[in-house]
Each structure stands twice: as C-alpha cells, then as structure tokens.
Amino acid sequence: MKLWGGRFEKGTSQDVDEFHSSIHFDYRLYRQDILGSIAHAAMLGKQGIISPGEAQTICKGLEEILKDFEEGKIELSAAHEDIHMNIEALLIEKIGQVGKKLHTGRSRNDQIVLDTRMYTREIIHEVIGLLIGLEEQLLELADKHKDTIMPGYTHLQKAQPVTLGHHLMAYFEMFRRDIQRLEDSLKRVDIMPLGSGALAGTTYPLDRQAVARQLGFSVISRNSMDAVAARDFVVEFLSCASIIMMHLSRFCEELILWSTDEFRFVEMDDSYSSGSSIMPQKKNPDVAELIRGKTGRVYGDLISVLTTMKGLPLAYHSDMQEDKEPLFDGMDTVKSCLSIFTGMLKTLKFCPENMLKQASRGFINATDVADYLVLKGIPFRDAHYIVGRLVLYCIHNDKVLDELTLDEYREFSEVFQQDVYEAISLKNCVERRNLPGGPAPSAVTKAVDEGHAWLQEIKSRYKQA
C-alpha cells in the first residue's frame, strides 16, 4: 500500500506509478533527505512531540540507511514515487511502527525544498571551487604573457594592439563576477523551509531554528506558502550557470577561431582534439565546440524551469517536480565543462610569433599616429582625417604605416618628424596604454597582482576543486 493510501479504494496503475515517479532522478538527494530527516526527528524528540527514545530510534535507523546508501546496498522502487517516500518506507521496514512517526509536522512539500536547497548549496561550493581553479590558471598564463603583443579586435576587424595577458585577464574578470554571483546567490539558497508543512505551517510546536542550526542554515523561511512554492533559487542557480556557460562559450569560440590555419594563434593539445574519419590532415577542436554546444543545453535548462513556474498559483503543484532534471543537468554540465575547459587551457600552446605577425598588419597603430599628431598640436578630429588618408595611401601602395618614409608622411602633414616611427612601434603603442585597466605590461602586472590577492581571499572561504 502507498504511504498515502488510506483515502483510496484501489491502487494506481503501473503506468501511472512510472509516470509519476521521480525516483530515477531525485535519488541523488538521498543524503540531504536523510540528514534533513535526522534533524527533524531529533527536534521532534527535544520538543516532546515524540518521545526522546523514539527520536533516537528513528535517527539511528536513518543513519544506518545512509550508510547502506553509501555502500550501494539500497534498492529504490518506483512504486514509492520519490526519494522521500522511499526512505520513509525503508525506515519503517527497518525499525517498525515507530518509523511512522517521522513525518509528524512535515510535508513532502517543505521536505523537497529543504533537500533541493541543501543540494544546491553544496553544488554552488563545488562550482566556485572549479572557477577558482580556472582563475588560477588564467593568472598564471596572463603573467607569463603580459608582454606578448597581439591584435585586439572590434567587429572581428583588427583594431588596436593589446597583450595576450590583458586578453586573458578579461576572462579572469568575467569568471570573477561568476564567482561573486554564485556567492551572492548563496544568501537566497541558505534558507531553511521545514516547518512550512504542505503550505500552511503546522500546529506542532516545532523548533525551526534548532533544525536550521543543525543543518547549517543561516535563516529560516519567513512565509510558509512562499517557502513551498518558491523555486527562484533554482532559476537563479541556472541563471548563474548559464552566464558561466556563456563566458566559457565565448572563450571556446575564440580558441576555435585562433586554432584555424588562418589565425594560428594557438595550438590545441592532441589530448583535447580529435581527427576526422575521412580527412587525414584534420585536427578538430571538439572539446571547445562541445562546451560551446552545451551552453545551449544549459540555457534550455533555465528556460525549462522558468516556463514550468510561470503559470503556477500558490502553493505547491506537481509541475514543480519537473524542476529537478533541468537543475541537475545544468549542475552536471557546468561542472564538467569548467573542469574540462581548465584542462584544455593548461595544455594549450600559444603562438606569440604569429600573434605579433598579425599585429604588424592591418594598421592597428593608426590610432597611435593620430595621437602623435594630437601631441604635436593638431585637433583630434583633423588628426583622424589625416591618418585616414594615410591609411588609404598605404592600401593603394601596399605598405603599412611603419614602412612609409618621412617624406611620404610629410605629404600629409608638416608636423611629422623622425620620432613618429618610435611613437607608433607596436611595443610603444602597447606600453603607453598603461592606465589602470589597460593592456600595457605594467598594467597587466598590477591586474595580475590584484587578481592574486582577491583569489587568496576567496580561497580562504572555498575549497579549490
């Protein structure tokens, strides 16, 4: 018989059991479910709602079940619907009648939110740990390449020279915000919902604060209906995951582009590439492509939960059981992508000579020629025009700015002198962009130092994965 079978005259059909059951995905909440039940039972005993002896028997039974789970000795059944009822049934089987007292003053509606919050809290710590590992890798590479000159692009057209270190530190900043976002979201995950019951709280004198303390929650939920109906913490996790994936995907897109024969800025390690079944020469950046592809999947997880929730009146509905698969999928995907991406980055070979070669073409020091004229007293808008004409002249004569003779320069403006060559050398162009936040090696060194200090502080709070 079902644990809720009293009101029914016949059982559910097997099809319905299977359709309704969530055990094939919510089994992964077993630890959170058992720890939550232990805290609940202990509190029931302390409050005299059940006897201390009964509480002890229940807690001991649950501890044994947890051990059995961890040793792989548990068989779960779809007939018991979900992880909560499977565990309750196992408990009753193990300790007999007294097991039936566990669910006093509790509903699966507050129980599932508790489990999901505890689980999400753990995964957030893991994802932050993985991001820390990625950030360390980026700092190491940025430091190594603080003087490596490369073209910077806008519209995917060569724009101005930057350093590879600076480019990499741009990603450091994105992942820093991802860590901060996750950390901030923890505040809204770290809320203990038990005591909300099905929707309207309970008549038993539960000690909600004691349960929160035992389970390591900072606060208890403030409204029983909101507590069982809210899934914005799920949406928020998936939003954070989606933004992380977007950042990874942009990075992957650059690496894919950079590994083409047209760019040759990087070479992927063989261990992170694969070949073609027909074209013998091919080495494809599959790992980066897959991460880019899986980004769509995580966005899908987010949209799925948002859509599930959008029409639900208060309070609980079975629709909300549909939050688990996208949530777990988003968690698994973002974790595996972060870990594999960091490995790929570690083994990636950068090709500074090709970057420099490309930086020497495409007039990326044109702005610097204009700035040179401004220093000689020409208004910027006029300088812009003069250099535009110079570039056109170069295009027609198949030259770059650095190759023009002084006489050629002076055809366009009398103020050009010998020092123009020095002023527009790539090295100078980069070194002079040394404002805080700029690409100059000196500025990148400062950014890397600041990054290390910040990461140290984060690492004091989270374990690196």
Point out which residues bind ligand ARG (CB under 6 A): 22, 26, 82, 108-109, 112, 316, 318, 320-321, 324
The residue with tokens 């644990």 is 3
Rounded least distance, CB 321 to ligand ARG, Å: 4
Min separation Cβ 323 and ligand ARG, Å: 7
Q: Quick one: 228 or 338, whose CB is closer to ligand ARG?
A: 228
User: Is the sign of the CA dihedral 23, 24, 29, 34 positive or negative?
Assistant: positive
Smallest distance, Å, CB 97 to ligand ARG?
24
| Residue 226 CB, nearest approach to ligand ARG (Å) | 16
Task: Determine the Cα–Cα distance for residues 382 and 434; give it in Å rounded to an integer.
Answer: 25
Known catalytic residue: 155? Answer: yes
Of the residues 155, 271, 396, 460, only one is catalytic, namely 155
Q: Which residues pair with 94 in a beta bridge?
A: none
Q: Quick check: helix, strand or coil at residue 306? A: helix
Choose the catalytic residue: 51, 77, 218, 276.
276
Smallest distance, ligand ARG to C-beta of residue 218, A: 24
User: Which residues make Cβ contacts (< 8 Å) with residue 415, sequence separation at least 6?
Assistant: 373, 376, 377, 378
Nearer to ligand ARG, 229 or 430 (CB): 229
Tell me how far CA of residue 350 lies from CA of 17, 138, 139, 144, 266, in angstroms: 56, 13, 15, 11, 4
Minimum distance between the CB of residue 81 and ligand ARG, rounded to whole angstroms? 7
Q: Considering only CA atoms, which of 37, 186, 174 is closest in space to residue 123?
A: 186
Terminal-to-terminal C-alpha distance of the chain = 45
Indicate the DSSP class of residue 101.
G
- Using CA of residue 114, residue 130, residue 446, residue 356, what is the dihedral sign? negative
Quick one: tokens of 74?
A: 């548990």
AA identity, residue 339: S
Annotation says 80 is catalytic: no
Q: Which residues of 364-392 are buried (b: 16+ CB within 10 A; e: fewer)?
A: bbbbbbbbbbeeeebeeeebbebbeebee
Tell me how far, at minimum, the Cβ of 238 lies from ligand ARG, in Å.
16
Rounded to a whole number of angstroms, the minimum distance from the CB of residue 19 to ligand ARG is: 13
Q: Which of 435, 409, 434, 432 is nearest to 420 (CA)?
A: 409
3-state secondary structure of 146: coil
Nearer to ligand ARG among residue 124 and residue 228 (C-beta): 228
- Kindly tell me which of 26 and 178 has the beta carbon lying closer to ligand ARG: 26
CA-wise closest residue to 232 among 327, 152, 148: 327
Q: Is 319 helix (H, G, I), strand (E, B) or coil?
A: helix
- Length in residues, the chain: 465
**Residue 191 to residue 185: CA distance in whole angstroms:** 11
User: For 274, which DSSP code?
Assistant: B
Chain-centroid distance, C-alpha 218: 24
Catalytic (active-site) positions: 155, 276
